[in-house]
Amino acid sequence: MHTRSLATAMLVATAIAPASAQKKYDYVSVPNDPIGARIYTLPNGLKVYLSQNKDKPRVQTNIATRAGSKNDPATATGLAHYLEHMLFKGTHEIATLDWEKESALLERISDTYEERRTVTDEAKRDALYHRIDSLSTEAAKYAVPNEYDKMVSSLGASGTNAFTSTERTVYVNDIPSNALEKWMMIESTRFQQLVLRLFHTELETVFEEFNRGQDNDQRKASVAMAEHLYKKHPYGTQTTIGTGEHLKNPSMVKIHEFFDTYYVPNNMAVVLAGDLDYDGTIAMVDKYFGGWKTKPVPAFSFQPEDPIAAPESVDVLGPMAEWVSLGWRFDGVKGNDAIMLDLIAGLLSNGQAGLMDLNLVQKQRVINAVAFAFESTDYSQFGMNANAKQGQTLEEARDLLLEQLDLLKNGAFDDWLIDAVVNDKRQSRTRQWSDNNGARASTLTNTFILQRDWKDVVDYLDRMGRITKADVTAFAKSHFTNNHVCVFKRTGEDKSTFKVTKPVITPIGINREGQSAWFAEWAEKPMTDLQPEFVDYDKSITRRSLQHNVPLAYIPNTSNDLFTLVMVQDLGNYSDPKLKLAIEYLPYLGTSKYTAAQLQQEFFKLGMEFTVQSGQDRNMVSLSGLDKNMPQGIALLEHLLADAQPNKEALAELVKDIIKVRGNNKKNKGIIMNSALLSYARYGDLSPFKDILSTAQLNAVTPDELIQRIKSLTTYAHRMFYYGARPVDEVVAVLDKEHLTPEELKSYPKHAPYVELPTQENKVYFVDYDMVQTELMLVSKSDMFNTGKLPYGTLFNEYFGSGLSSIVFQEIREAKALAYSANAQFTRPAKKEEAHYVRAYIGTQNDKLGDAVTAMLALMNSMPADEKMFNGSKDAALKQIASQRATKEAIYWSWENAQRLGIDHDLNRDVYSAIQGSSLDGLSAFFNKNIANRTYTYLAIGKESAMDMKALERLGPVTKLSLEQVFGY
């Protein structure tokens, strides 16, 4: 491919800029579009989706390609996903120190891979891989690892990532709005030039990702469902990650062919949502992307699936808790099924008043149940899931799900429910689009991938609202017959797991100080500065006092007709272990006027949702929905809190379910590691995680004890927060009328604090779990909360521990391919009474654990110092703070969090100022004082029979902990 230097490209772009700025661009827009989207098509076929949102000076960027795993050759699955990884490696100009020498070596590596694909003798294959390894070591001398991430990080980007699914690959960044042009310069180059550098170390990463999938029961169940629903279509015949055998035999030639075929402008879209100017932005996109050359894209064809004539069932085994899933196959975007399926999912399951919500969850016939639908290009899918109760079989749970579908077929739901479901979906969409650029970009990206008309997206809920009850029942009767697939996810050993074993790889050298000529030229292009804006809580939050001196914090909502009202109390499990149980009991209770189901229906009719959350030291009662109905919603919630009636049977079932869920949690490796083990490391045997009601105590609790706690919630000291469109005086009047409190509010009960244990010596806690990989966490207690540590703590995380260009990622994953995931951080506590922690994490294969932890400890004790890299991290941290804004409801929660740290102002003001004066010497001093030479509590989880126990023993004395020891039950 012919390329030109950055300087030449910039000169040409500058020459055409005046004409481009005057050019008029046609676009598609839709009246009354809540996000004001404009959709352009450049002459080369590139689609451009723009949505303006001035809330904060940032832009969510998505670059989407209509190519995913369904486009993979059947003989080379996993190709689209692996290409996604490689597009972060740079181009002929980006991330190379000498392209002429590097390209010659890359060509030889490619040729060797092709030769290896034809060889079956393992000894010869190993010899060829040794040649690949040697050539790769030489080629790496001319590469600059993660230069792409260094560039976007220097802009202040966050969330840099990508994902591949069945029919799309999407590359995402969240950038400051003043960085838009420099971002375009990078991306317009990146997607025209594919270079497969550092190929074999990245292949190791994909191996790790494949192996992690073997430990994911949700993924395995999803794959099983797809295999049975789609027996001919690639949705089911091949997975996004690919087969193990194909991963072991990659072809760089085929990856280039895939890129050249599908990564063309007429098959791609640039999606931007945030602080942008429409006319200036489309001219800029044209300037940088308009020169891409269009090419014909082969049409995707598939053999239609045969009808499912009878129910099909399949068992999936794994260590996690059991559940049952039902799935149905429907028409894709060219049909009309998707909107009906979405409505039916809402009628069955909306979290409040759906048939499954009321008949299964509310009546405690299953632990949890949900219905969902999603649309794809060629087919759409409808699903139902349930978690069985203690003593209930998965077959019984399946029958309960099908029973609800039969009720829907027979019209056993109220006429008002369709309107309520549509209004609920409208509220959800309004909140997402109002507050979240990512949600806007996601919707626009989906519109492109599915080739939908934007008008159909905007008026989607209006069209749904015109569907009648008769339409629903007729559709359900004709489409939901004996044509489903049932997946039983059972707890047990899966003997079919396929582990991709690692080849021998020589660690490559990291050119940490290296920089391509392209990067150097690009860095010189000026960029306007963004000045940070810090929240003045006194000006941003109006404070009033309700009757009986209840504080009210008020923030106006000028964006939509929705409100949020929250009652906040510094009262939780620490003070009263039975309070959480009372809160969990509340949704199953009625009053003297309403049954529990009727209450849920009344809230749903009003367009309201109430939630009650009880944490360790904070309790929150929230009401949200349509502001016009706020007085009625408050009255209904106050009625429930004041008049909740005991229900002995509901409590008995709730206790059974809690015990069942506790058992399920012990089968979840995420909860084992990140909750149970981590809490044990911090607090020892007396931890807040374990300080819960025992089974005997649960069974001894009476309904009256819990009712008393519910009715006393408003008698304790609390504060109120309102975000909505009503004037503050009107809010005060409504609350003074509806929110009844005693003249004197009670103080919170005292509780003994939990003590964070010092990390005085190295020790290892190990929990046995049936998994392919090993996970290891390093935990070390530091000093108590200190605002002075935050600036360099922030820089340490940016420079050393997180992101694709961090020291840890480069050394552990990029150079040595020792782990799929590795990071380190200096934590910020949530409360002033808590300590900072030094933590690190490695997710790796069992046989690489020893090497991985050795490499991690070497870094944790001796931080590599690089002035250029530090300056980039410093710049990135400053730009991220400068472009962030606390707006709307987030202002209040920012204030709440600051108060919990004993601070009454925006903490970012202090951090920003200190980072401005920081230096690499200062970071090194921080590292030496706070990070280096620490002792750790090591938390390890993995399969004992495959675990490298000697590697663990070298870290310190190993204590094997039972699940009962870390969970407390």
Q: Which two tokens stand for residue 74?
A: 């059947």
Q: Which two tokens stand for residue 252?
A: 């760089």
Query: Any bridge partners for residue 373, and if so which?
Result: 382
Helical ranges in 507-665 per DSSP H: 517-524, 537-540, 577-585, 596-605, 630-643, 648-665
**CA 296/CA 580 separation, integer angstroms:** 60
Question: pLDDT band for position 845 (50/70/90)?
Answer: confident
Please tell me whether residue 752 adopts helix, strand or coil conformation. Answer: coil
DSSP secondary structure letters along 815-845 = IT---SEEEEEE---SSTTSEEEEEEEEEEE
Q: Which two tokens stand for residue 51?
A: 């949505």
What is the percent of the chain where pLDDT is above 70? 98
Q: Which two tokens stand for residue 206?
A: 């994909």
Average pLDDT of span 859-887: 93
**CA 443/CA 433 separation, integer angstroms:** 9
pTM exceeds 0.85, yes or no: yes
pLDDT tens digits for range 647-706 = 999 999 999 999 999 999 999 999 999 999 999 999 999 888 998 999 999 999 999 999
Residue 836 phi/psi, 5-degree rounding, is: -75, 155
Burial letters 843-873, b for 16+ CB under 10 A, else e: bbbbebbbbbbebbeebbeebeebeebbebb
pLDDT of 10 reads 36
Burial letters 149-179, b for 16+ CB under 10 A, else e: bbbbbbbbbbebebebebbbbbbbbbbbbbb
Average pLDDT of span 603-627: 92
Question: pLDDT band for position 17 (50/70/90)?
Answer: very low
Q: Is residue 6 pLDDT above 50, yes or no?
A: no
What is the percent of the chain where pLDDT is above 90? 85
Rg of the chain over all Cα atoms, to the nearest angstrom: 29
8 A C-beta contact, residue 487 and residue 225: yes
**CA 667/CA 106 separation, integer angstroms:** 45
Please tell me whether residue 562 adopts helix, strand or coil conformation. Answer: strand
Average pLDDT of span 859-872: 93
**CA 838/CA 843 separation, integer angstroms:** 17
Single-letter amino acid, residue 878: L
**Centroid of chain to Cα 499:** 26
Query: Any bridge partners for residue 175, and if so which?
Result: 59
Single-letter amino acid, residue 166: T
pLDDT of 576 reads 87
Query: Any bridge partners for residue 621, and if so which?
Result: 567, 612
Q: Name 637's Cβ contacts closer than 8 Å, sequence gap at least 6.
A: 610, 621, 623
pLDDT of 19 reads 39
8 A C-beta contact, residue 398 and residue 324: yes
pLDDT of 164 reads 96
**CA 446/CA 25 separation, integer angstroms:** 23
Q: Is residue 796 pLDDT above 80, yes or no?
A: yes
Query: Any bridge partners for residue 767, and if so which?
Result: 941
Average pLDDT of span 350-373: 96
Strand 619-626 versus strand 608-614 pairing type: antiparallel
Q: Is residue 2 pLDDT above 60, yes or no?
A: no
Please tell me whether residue 589 adopts helix, strand or coil conformation. Answer: coil
Mean of pLDDT over the chain: 93
Question: pLDDT band for position 403 (50/70/90)?
Answer: very high
Q: Name 54's Cβ contacts closer than 8 Å, sequence gap at least 6.
A: 275
Q: Find the angle CA(3)-CA(5)-CA(11) to the nearest 5 degrees.
A: 115
Please tell me whether residue 736 adopts helix, strand or coil conformation. Answer: helix
Average pLDDT of span 32-60: 97
**CA 168/CA 209 separation, integer angstroms:** 19
- CA 161 to each of CA 61, 202, 478, 643, 820: distance values in angstroms, whole numbers, following the listed order: 11, 15, 42, 50, 15
pLDDT tens digits for range 731-755 = 999 999 999 999 999 998 888 889 9
Single-letter amino acid, residue 578: K
Task: Work out the widest C-alpha separation in the chain, in whole angstroms.
Answer: 86
Question: Which has the closest alpha carbon to 500: 248, 826, 714?
Answer: 248
pLDDT of 3 reads 34
User: What element of type H or E holds 926?
Assistant: helix 920-930
Average pLDDT of span 171-195: 96
Residue 512 or 953, more confident: 953
Query: Any bridge partners for residue 828, and if so which?
Result: none
- CA 373 to each of CA 134, 137, 439, 843, 850: distance values in angstroms, whole numbers, following the listed order: 49, 48, 18, 33, 44
8 A C-beta contact, residue 900 and residue 832: yes
**CA 892/CA 554 separation, integer angstroms:** 9
**CA 601/CA 590 separation, integer angstroms:** 12
Please provide the distance, in angstroms rounded to a whole number, between the alpha carbons at the two ends of the chain: 63
**CA 589/CA 550 separation, integer angstroms:** 27
- CA 6 to each of CA 102, 150, 286, 844: distance values in angstroms, whole numbers, following the listed order: 19, 17, 17, 39
Q: Is residue 399 pLDDT above 70, yes or no?
A: yes
Burial letters 609-646, b for 16+ CB under 10 A, else e: bbebebeebbbbbbbbbbbebbbbbbebbbbbbebbeb
pLDDT of 60 reads 98
**CA 514/CA 889 separation, integer angstroms:** 44
Q: Which two tokens stand for residue 465?
A: 């609202």
pLDDT of 7 reads 38
Q: Is residue 488 pLDDT above 50, yes or no?
A: yes
Please tell me whether residue 924 adopts helix, strand or coil conformation. Answer: helix
